[in-house]
Structure 1
Amino acid sequence: MSSPGVKLYVQDRYVVMDNGTLQVTISNPDGIVTGIQYNGIDNLLAVENVEVDRGYWDLNWSLAGTKGTRGKFDRIESTSFEVVVENEDQVELSFTRTWDQSLEGKVVPLNIDKRFVMLSDSSGFYTYAIYEHLKEWPAFILNRFRVAFKLRKDKFHYMAIADNRQRYMPLPDDRLSYRGQALAYPEAVLLIDPVEPEFRGEVDDKYQYSCENKDNRVHGWICNDPPVGFWQITPSDEFRSAGPLKQNLTSHVGPYTLAIMHSVHYSGEDLLLKFGTNEPWKKVLGPVFIYLNSLSDPEDDPLSSLWEDAKEQMRIEVEGWPYTFPASEDFQQPDQRGNVSGRLQVKDRYVCNENIPANGAYVGLAPPGDVGSWQREVKGYQFWTRADEDGYFCINHIRTGDYNLYAFVPGFIGDYRYDVIITPSAGYDIYLGDLVYEPPRDGPTLWEIGVPDRTAREFYVPDPSPMLINRLYVNHPDRFRQYGLWERYADLYPDGDLVYTVGVSDYRKDWFFAQVNRKNDDHTYTGTTWQIKFKLDCAATKTDTYKLRLALATAHAAVLQVRVNDDANSPLFSTGQIGKDNTIARHGIHGLYRLYNVDVPGNLLLEGDNTIFLTQANNTSPFQGIMYDYIRLEGPASFNGNKKP
């Protein structure tokens, strides 16, 4: 049967897009999605909520100079409506809000154009937005922007984020004060008397369902009666900030599903978009696809069938990027974009005399900046790929503009930057040839702890308290997502801090995944000092300099101090206070990557037994601390008297 095409109904207070498969109702001129009708359900959205609290774009913003990351919440309600495209194949609608000086201090100084697109023969709809700040407008700060959909709690009970991250979920009612107990922060609730007894004793926390951008392609909810899936599909990361490893929320109890383009989660104030006076800016956010599916065969298992179909649709959307249908001239079409390719190798003479192919390297284009600046870059576009086993990479469909090429290579510390500015142009391929990354290295490896992969995943993650579990993450690869693991440190080390002996200890079992504070009986906290014990087979000379590489996976309001062979002296090195990642509290295994290179004078080291003391000195909160990615001690370049353990 052929599609009836897309029909548009414009009313005084609403606009309805209908392609025969679904109907989407949007408030006029606000641009809020108030209803989605599909598969016999009159409205998939939270009918118990007021209309403005169902499907919407929102943001958080602050006046210039404001401290912190909270900001003012703005559920973006537009003031004018326009039909951009209307034919049998496509409807595209524009809902705009224009800023002027009369709104200063009241509304974020942005022109905002929200777009909604419905195509024929499509079981869903698209939404994207164009944000613009003109040069003469005031300075301000953007904290977060996203699209949110709130679904019917009587219908959608099963949530899926990945093959191994899906389950039936508690109800939002279970988080109410008479059914749940708030824990150390309001997002985490212990379910005491849930509506469904199966959830009693579990912890619900939206941060347990966060996901890295590179893996955050499809997530959503399933209704069993009738079988219906509601999915948010993000086909590209180009409009998301801070690169492929940035973590964002996905779906969580509500039932809610989110398309987050920017947030400060797992990063803190480093990721605020701070606009100065006379700073013009424009960015296209999206499109993202809201996909609805139902069973083609009523005998199929709805949970697995709808999830597998959603993944297949995700693959179709990714392969179709960049889309050809957006009508905004600010969204660059495929023929307006360029491609960049090349080969990346690693040169580390203490590993291999020959260049090493950068197998699996993350290679990307981001606005020009310092080495590693991509992970804090929040205003422009980024384009990333993975190199193959021989180090070859190809980055396609790049918007025109000026970029640096950045990379990091699993198995090696540090960041690579190709210093020449790259300017892709429409329809052209740029081949960069062979590029060589020389990671930080002064001498041979005497010992190392961990794996340089920018996470603390390989270290020891304890079981949670049996009173504070999420059953999804029991015997799960992501066991670090359990609540309250910071308190397990004192349980495992009740009488003294961690001591790691090189050549004897196993970092997979003997290195706690986070250096956290110890909770005292009076509910105060004590900083912790970890020891690394190692032997040198021959004495260092006074003129020798060793190098201690400290790669951190995350830090939160922490001060890391290094001492050598005497923990009473002034530290040889101190980071000062670093980080506002809040990764420990939010069940991440990494935040922002930091690399410190510490010179260790030879006169501090002894023939035989030596100890490095690592102290986390800030001690006012359970969430202060650091996660290590990798630690290495290098000998002097001429050193050859110590065998690698």
Structure 2
Amino acid sequence: MAISDERQRIMPMPVDRETGKVLDYKEAVLLTNPTNPDLTGEVDDKYFYANDNKDDRVHGWVGADPPVGFWMIIPSDEFRTGGPYKQDLTTHVGPTVLSVFVSRHYAGDDLVIKFQQGEPWKKVIGPVFLYLNSNASALDDPTVLWDDAKKRMNQEVASWPYDFPVSEDYIKSNQRGTVTGQLFVNDSTTTLVPASNSYIGLAPPGDVGSWQRENKGYQFWTKADACGNFAIEKVIPGTYNLYATVPGTIGDYIYTSDVEVTPGCTIGLGSMVYNPPRNGATLWEIGVPDRTAAEFFIPTPPTQFNAHVYQNNSETIFRQYGLWEQYSVLYPENDLIYNVGTSNYSKDW
């Protein structure tokens, strides 16, 4: 199974879950007598393989005999809900391959689509691309098929939106528009700072951060360059707000005016400035506001569970089963105390 260049592994069989021990929730099963003895003591949990929308373009499986790959390729996020940081499931034991369009995973009721009596609604979801490949050399090196799947993924992304759908509700490339601009941050300094590597997107009109809860319309996101320049391409005509989230800067940006995208248009918004919420000079802070929490201390999993083969991967170490139990192990008598000025959040928080 492969989700990224680092998140790849041999997976258990369905029968291994049946013979295993269910843990604190039904999705987590301790493998006690797996078909592959190397997996004994591991915890299988489908949530371990979740991914952010922005990072999920291709995932799938490679079978050993014959060496065949089966891949789910998602060329666009425009029809997904919750924005680029929304997490969802990718694959799990089965072998199962998913393409989740709408779900409440990691979000709850806010992302459940709700309708009023008589409310009209129409949305084109997909298409997604199922890709099968085969190569005899994959018998010794399964990553051959993964690398090929990534190449095909890049082709499909470049081909989006597709030309073949005949539905008039599916908007073709020449009927879409482009929005460009440059974003700066003004955080109580005399010099504007480019909003480098920020995620900037168009989503249905709302308030600050509403794109995270939006679930009925389309969203179009891109990543700004080092100078804060961005181009959001292939946008379906409609009325949008422009939103942004800037790594290292608290809060969320929203452009004050609606953006009206029409077929074939190119809209230049020029330079925009985000003024983060601030009531004075920073006295102290913990961590980095980049929506990952990767900088904080993550304990080792409980010793009774064998960790996954890529447990040191920063993408996934926080997903290990049972980490919450380690708090009482680390602090058996008194709660954690964080001393401002002397404590280090990478070790002490």
Q: TM-score range by the shorter chain?
A: over 0.9
Does structure 2 retain, via aligned residues, the 8 Å contact 1:227–1:302?
Answer: no
Query: 2:4 corresponds to which residue?
Result: 162
Cα gap change, 1:165/1:299 in structure 2, threshold over 3 Å: closer, same or farther? closer
Aligned ranges 1:187-198 → 2 under 5 Å: 187-198=27-38
Return structure 1 stretches of 4+ with deviation > 3 angstroms: 297-302
Match status 1:433 vs 2:270: yes
Alignment counterpart, residue 496 of structure 1, candidates 308, 331, 334: 334
Match status 1:328 vs 2:170: no
Alignment counterpart, residue 150 of structure 2, candidates 305, 311, 316: 311
Does structure 2 retain, via aligned residues, the 8 Å contact 1:360–1:386?
Answer: yes
Find the aligned partners of 1:237 and 1:403 in 2 and give their Cα distance.
16
User: Offset of 1:194 from its aligned partner?
Assistant: 1.3
How many correspondences in the alignment? 348
Does structure 1 retain, via aligned residues, the 8 Å contact 2:301–2:307?
Answer: no
Task: Spell out, residue by residue over 1:505-548, the C-alpha distance to the aligned partner (whole angstroms, 9 max, x if none).
Answer: 1100000xxxxxxxxxxxxxxxxxxxxxxxxxxxxxxxxxxxxx
Q: Max radius of gyration: which structure?
A: 1
Find the aligned partners of 1:298 and 1:182 in 2 and give their Cα distance.
38
Query: 2:177 corresponds to which residue?
Result: 338
Find the aligned partners of 1:423 and 1:393 in 2 and give their Cα distance.
17
Does structure 1 retain, via aligned residues, the 8 Å contact 2:65–2:139?
Answer: no
Which secondary structure does the structure 2 equivalent of 1:219 belong to? strand
User: Offset of 1:252 from its aligned partner?
Assistant: 0.7
TM-score normalised to structure 2 length: 0.98
Q: Which has the higher contact order (CA 8 A, sep 6+)?
A: 2
Aligned ranges 1:332-481 → 2 under 5 Å: 332-349=171-188, 352-477=189-314, 478-481=316-319
Does structure 1 retain, via aligned residues, the 8 Å contact 2:67–2:139?
Answer: no
Which secondary structure does the structure 2 equivalent of 1:310 belong to? helix
Task: Spell out, residue by residue over 1:119-168, the C-alpha distance to the aligned partner (whole angstroms, 9 max, x if none).
Answer: xxxxxxxxxxxxxxxxxxxxxxxxxxxxxxxxxxxxxxxx1111110111
Find the aligned partners of 2:317 and 2:190 in 1 and give their Cα distance.
39
Gaps of 5+ in 2: none
Which secondary structure does the structure 2 equivalent of 1:162 belong to? coil
Task: Spell out, residue by residue over 1:385-432, the C-alpha distance to the aligned partner (whole angstroms, 9 max, x if none).
Answer: 011111000000000111000001001000111121111111110000
Task: Spell out, residue by residue over 1:598-635, the C-alpha distance to the aligned partner (whole angstroms, 9 max, x if none).
Answer: xxxxxxxxxxxxxxxxxxxxxxxxxxxxxxxxxxxxxx
Find the aligned partners of 1:302 and 1:455 in 2 and give their Cα distance.
32
TM-score normalised to structure 1 length: 0.53
Gaps of 5+ in 1: 1-158, 512-645
Does structure 2 retain, via aligned residues, the 8 Å contact 1:240–1:381?
Answer: yes
Query: 1:571 corresponds to which residue?
Result: none
Find the aligned partners of 2:317 and 2:92 in 1 and give their Cα distance.
18
Task: Spell out, residue by residue over 1:242-284, the C-alpha distance to the aligned partner (whole angstroms, 9 max, x if none).
Answer: 1000001001111100000111000011111011112100010
Which secondary structure does the structure 2 equivalent of 1:244 belong to? coil
Query: 1:282 corresponds to which residue?
Result: 122
| Percent of paired sites with the same residue | 58
Query: 2:13 corresponds to which residue?
Result: 171
Does structure 2 retain, via aligned residues, the 8 Å contact 1:202–1:467?
Answer: no
Does structure 2 retain, via aligned residues, the 8 Å contact 1:473–1:481?
Answer: no
- Looking at secondary structure, tell me which structure has more helix per residue: 2
- Looking at secondary structure, tell me which structure has more strand per residue: 1
Which secondary structure does the structure 1 equivalent of 2:124 belong to? strand
Find the aligned partners of 1:445 and 1:290 in 2 and give their Cα distance.
50
User: Offset of 1:226 from its aligned partner?
Assistant: 1.2
The RMSD of aligned alpha carbons is: 1.1
Cα gap change, 1:174/1:333 in structure 2, threshold over 3 Å: closer, same or farther? same
